Structure formats: C-alpha cells, structure tokens
C-alpha cells in the first residue's frame, strides 16, 4: 500500500522515516573490554548504564517510537585516543542501549523493534561524546 505522505522514499513504507530524534551525550563511550563482562550482575556494566541514564534525563520529554526504528550510535573520540575494534565498539554501547529502553526512549532493544548501526570517528572539536540518532519508520501496512 502506498503512503502518500512520503514520496521521497518511493512510497516504500519500510524505508519511510516518520520521526527523527538526535541525542548528543557528553560522555566518552567505553569498549567492551573496559566493561569486563557484559552481564547484568556486573558492577561496571551497572555503573555505566546508570551514568548513561543520568545523561538521558534531559531527553525524557521525547516519546518512545511505537513502530520499528533505526538507531545510529556514533562514538566521537578526542585527541590521544583511538578507534575500537567493531566487537568492542558494539559491546561497549550495550549499557547505553539498555539505558535508552529504561528511560522510555525505546520500547525494547529486540530486533523486532530496532535495527542498530554503529560507527566511530575522531572528534572535530577534540572532545569525547556520543551521538544517538533514532529514526522511527512508518508502519509496513
């Protein structure tokens, strides 16, 4: 069925973006190695998740997407640091992903609800921070 509201996507609802939210979090991302083991009973994991939750407080007015969404995580690192290998990058973002769910900015972190993308770049302003972009897609009806 064609969605007349979105001619830019060729009327393909699976590619139509309904809403976009961009979050800038002034905190450096950790690697999976820094979190040690990625379990719920790990203090490093729990402390990292709580730190992300505190940074998400200003975004609490945003509503969680009701449809499937794409979530883009981008780590920006400052001078003197380096890029992580892909496994450590993805694993290090797990506390942030869980914090987004607990803060009500995502419904769930299952593949049914989100598709995740990860990237990392050298910071243009020389500071550590994380950018999260949440794109809610139109229903596939």
pLDDT tens-digit readout, 42-60 = 688 888 889 999 999 888 8
Give the residue among 15, 18, 11 at the shortest CA–CA distance from 1: 11
Rounded distance, CA 53 to CA 51, Å? 5
3-state secondary structure of 96: helix
5 in a domain, yes or no?
Answer: no
8 in a domain, yes or no?
Answer: no
11 in a domain, yes or no?
Answer: no
**β strands within 15-141, DSSP E:** 17-25, 69-77, 114-122, 129-137
Exposure of 30 in the CB half-sphere (CA atoms within 13 A): 20
130 in a domain, yes or no?
Answer: yes
116: pLDDT confidence band, cut at 50, 70 and 90?
very high
The number of beta carbons lying within 10 Å of the beta carbon of residue 85 is 10
Query: Percentage of the chain with pLDDT > 90?
Result: 43
86 in a domain, yes or no?
Answer: yes
36 in a domain, yes or no?
Answer: yes
3 in a domain, yes or no?
Answer: no
**Which DSSP state fits 107?**
S
Number of domains in the chain: 1
**Residue 69: domain span:** 19-137
Quote the pLDDT of residue 24: 94
Asked whether the beta carbons of 96 and 52 are under 8 A apart, the reply is yes
2 in a domain, yes or no?
Answer: no
- Token pair for residue 88? 């450590």
Quote the pLDDT of residue 99: 94
| CATH code of residue 127 | 3.30.1330.70
């Amino acid at each position: 069925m064609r969605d007349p509201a979105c001619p830019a996507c060729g009327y393909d609802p699976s590619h139509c973006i309904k809403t976009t939210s961009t979050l800038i979090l002034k905190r450096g991302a950790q690697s999976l190695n820094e979190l040690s083991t990625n379990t719920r009973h790990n203090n490093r994991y729990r402390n990292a998740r709580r730190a992300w939750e505190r940074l998400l407080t200003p975004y609490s007015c945003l509503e969680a997407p009701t449809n499937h969404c794409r979530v883009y995580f981008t780590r920006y690192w400052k001078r003197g640091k380096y890029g992580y290998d892909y496994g450590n990058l993805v694993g290090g973002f797990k506390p942030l992903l869980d914090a987004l769910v607990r803060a009500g900015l995502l419904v769930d972190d299952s593949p049914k609800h989100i598709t995740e993308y990860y990237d990392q770049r050298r910071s243009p302003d020389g500071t550590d921070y994380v950018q999260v972009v949440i794109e809610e897609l139109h229903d596939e009806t």
